[in-house]
Each structure stands twice: as structure tokens, then as C-alpha cells.
């Protein structure tokens, strides 16, 4: 894969919209820009806007109505057409973006429907946070498939497999970046089974082979190649502990001892519950 160099053009704090910040990365001397929209919510949500001379492409939305409105307002401030929304794990609030074409795999669309995984998470959020939650989920989309390349706003977007086998990731070769739902070099992730952890390791090693310059995720700031190596080491250790621990409690303690400064303890608890049936 070709080397692509990027520079952070700006970090804008948008206090008036309620979000924490927008981090803007420039590629090809600023001809292409990546806007990483940090909501600052309780899940540390991020979504992304890829800007080319021809228009804008949204990668994911976010969970809460005020943040969805802030993303929509920011998109309008760029004064270019929003030509597509690539929604996978975070489709909430899609109506706020207007009459934009939504792309999704069949698995992602199924996850948004009643009884699906994203639908279920949304219902849980509603129970916890009430009408602050953006509860509108798309029921139709332009269906895409793993391995497919879409050309949107003059750029190619490659649809990638994700370890859950349901939703999807995205690569943008022109700027040498990849989006996946979760990573975070110093954050625990939800790892529901040993095969899932093994699949995650294989996928991240694939990223290393590709040499992506930035990894985009929905719950962490963009990170570089060194973060991938750090996450692979984390997953390999967690895999070993999952196989050698006897109980939920033993596993939790062992992972915390190995990674004492990691965030996302709730995700670690969810992993332990899935692995040990608690």
C-alpha cells in the first residue's frame, strides 16, 4: 500500500454545539480532509466525515440527540453536499442528515431491525437515558457486500469484514485509513468468545500488513500503526488469560493486573460475563 502522509490541520472545540471537539486531518496538502467528530458523551463516541473536493461522506452517527444535531450542524457548516452515509454500528439519528443515501450490509441492516443487536442496545440506552437517545434507526439501505468498493465523492471506500460477522468496517485507500468499530490502544474491548478474540488478532495483523496510517474507531480518537501493535499484544494476552482463568473473578483480576492503566472497565466486565457465562 502506498504511503500517505497526513497532518492535523485543526482541533476545534465546539462548546456551543455541546460536543468536545472536531479533529481535522489533512491529506494531499489539504485537498482531502478527515473530520473526526468527538462527542464527549459517556461512551466516548466518535464519528467521521471524509471531505473531498466533490463532497462529504459520513462514517457512522452517534447515540444521543444533541450530538446528532451537532454533527448535522457541523456537516452543514462545511458547505458541501453530503453524498452518502456509511452506517454500521451507529446508525442512530439518521433522519437528521436529510435525504442522504445510506449504505449498509445485510447483516448491519438486520442488526438495526427489531430484535437485532444494535436495536437491542438502543432499547437498553433508552431505558437508561430516556428521550435523550436518538432512537430512529433506518429500516432500508443500499445493500453493500464485504470486499465491495464504492466510489463516493470521488474517493473509493472498501467494505471490510468485522469479527462479529454482522456489521462492517471501511478502508479509504486514498488516505490510507481504516475504520473499525472498536480498538483503542489503552482501552478494554467487548470480546465475547475465544474465536472472536482470535479473529480480532487476525484482522489487526492484516492491518499491519496493509500499513494503514490511521485507525478510526467509534469509541476512541484516531490512532496510528503503533496502536495496532499494542492492541495485538493486548489481545494475545487476554486470549491466554481467557484460556487459563477458571472463573469470572479470576479473569477480571488477571486482566487488570496485566493492564492496570486501561480504560473501559465496563467492557471488560461484559467480556468476562460472555466468556464465563455470568
Inform me whether the pLDDT recorded for 18 exceeds 60: no
Q: Cα-flanking dihedrals φ and ψ of residue 189, to 5°? A: -120, 165
Phi, psi of 241 (to 5 degrees): -70, -35
Under 8 Å between Cβ of 191 and 170: no
**Mean of pLDDT values over 257-269:** 93
Q: Name every residue whose Cβ is closer than 8 Å to that of residue 142 and which is 6 or more positions away in sequence.
A: 101, 102, 103, 104
User: Residue 11: what pLDDT?
Assistant: 52
* pLDDT given at position 56: 98
Rounded to the nearest angstrom, the gap between the alpha carbon of residue 252 and the centroid of all alpha carbons in its chain is 25
pLDDT digits (tens, 9 = 90+) for 98-128: 999 999 999 999 999 999 999 999 999 999 9
Beta-carbon count within 10 A of 2 CB: 7
Return d(Cα 68, Cα 134) in angstroms, integer.
Answer: 8
Confidence bin at 42 (pLDDT 50/70/90) = confident
In terms of CATH architecture, what is 1-181? 4-Layer Sandwich (3.60)
Q: With a cut of 70, say whether residue 2 has pLDDT above it.
A: no
Least-confidence region, from 18-32, 54-68, 92-106, 247-261? 18-32
For residue 202, CA distances in Å to 38, 181, 183, 191, 236 come to 28, 16, 14, 14, 11
Q: How many CB atoms lie within 10 A of CB 111?
A: 23
* Residue 246, number of CB atoms within 10 A of its CB: 8
139 pLDDT band, cuts 50/70/90, is very high
- C-alpha of 8 from chain center: 20
Could you tell me the pLDDT band of residue 19, with boundaries at 50, 70 and 90? low
Give this prediction's pTM. Answer: 0.88
| Per-residue pLDDT reduced to its tens digit, 159-172 | 999 888 789 999 99
Contact 57, 86 (CB under 8 A): yes
Query: How is residue 259 annotated by DSSP?
Result: S
User: Strands across the sheet with 149-152, in order?
Assistant: 149-152, 155-161, 168-172, 177-179, 214-217, 220-223
The dihedral built from the CA positions of residue 86, 182, 278 and 266, taken in this order, carries a sign that is: negative
pLDDT single digits (tens) 175-233: 999 999 989 999 999 899 999 999 999 999 999 999 999 999 999 999 999 999 999 99
For the chain, the domains span 1-181, 186-214+226-278
Instruction: Cell numbers for 118, please give them.
Output: 444494535
Pairing outcome for strands 102-105 and 46-52 = unpaired
Query: Is pLDDT above 60 for 5?
Result: no
Query: 15-19, 92-96, 155-159, 227-231 — which is least confidently predicted?
Result: 15-19
> 44-90: per-residue pLDDT in tens?
899 999 999 999 999 999 999 999 999 999 999 999 999 999 999 99
Residues in contact with 18: Cβ distance below 8 Å, sequence separation at least 6, in sequence order: 40, 66, 67, 70
Amino acid at each position: 500500500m502506498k504511503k500517505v502522509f497526513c497532518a492535523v490541520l485543526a482541533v476545534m472545540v465546539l462548546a456551543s454545539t455541546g460536543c468536545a471537539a472536531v479533529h481535522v486531518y489533512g491529506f494531499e496538502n489539504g485537498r482531502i480532509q478527515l473530520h473526526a467528530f468527538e462527542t464527549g458523551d459517556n461512551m466516548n463516541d466518535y464519528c467521521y466525515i471524509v471531505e473531498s473536493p466533490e463532497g462529504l461522506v459520513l462514517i457512522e452517527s452517534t447515540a444521543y440527540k444533541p450530538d446528532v444535531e451537532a454533527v448535522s450542524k457541523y456537516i452543514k457548516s462545511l458547505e458541501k453536499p453530503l453524498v452518502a452515509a456509511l452506517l454500521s454500528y451507529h446508525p442512530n439519528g439518521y433522519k437528521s442528515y436529510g435525504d442522504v443515501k445510506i449504505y449498509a450490509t445485510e447483516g448491519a441492516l438486520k442488526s438495526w431491525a427489531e430484535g437485532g443487536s444494535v436495536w437491542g442496545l438502543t432499547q437498553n440506552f433508552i431505558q437508561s437515558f430516556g428521550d435523550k437517545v436518538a432512537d430512529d434507526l433506518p429500516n432500508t439501505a443500499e445493500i453493500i457486500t464485504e470486499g465491495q468498493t464504492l466510489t463516493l465523492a470521488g474517493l473509493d471506500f472498501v467494505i471490510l469484514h468485522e469479527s462479529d460477522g454482522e456489521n462492517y468496517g471501511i478502508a479509504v485507500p486514498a488516505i490510507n485509513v481504516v475504520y473499525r468499530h472498536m480498538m483503542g490502544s489503552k482501552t478494554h474491548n467487548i470480546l465475547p468468545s475465544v474465536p472472536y478474540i482470535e479473529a480480532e488478532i487476525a484482522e489487526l495483523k492484516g492491518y499491519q500488513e496493509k500499513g494503514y496510517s490511521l485507525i478510526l474507531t467509534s469509541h476512541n480518537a484516531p490512532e496510528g500503526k503503533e496502536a495496532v501493535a499494542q492492541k495485538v499484544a493486548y489481545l494475545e494476552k487476554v486470549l491466554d488469560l481467557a484460556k487459563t482463568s477458571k472463573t469470572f473473578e479470576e479473569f477480571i483480576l488477571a486482566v487488570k493486573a496485566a493492564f492496570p492503566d486501561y480504560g473501559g472497565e465496563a467492557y471488560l466486565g461484559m467480556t468476562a460475563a460472555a466468556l464465563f457465562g455470568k
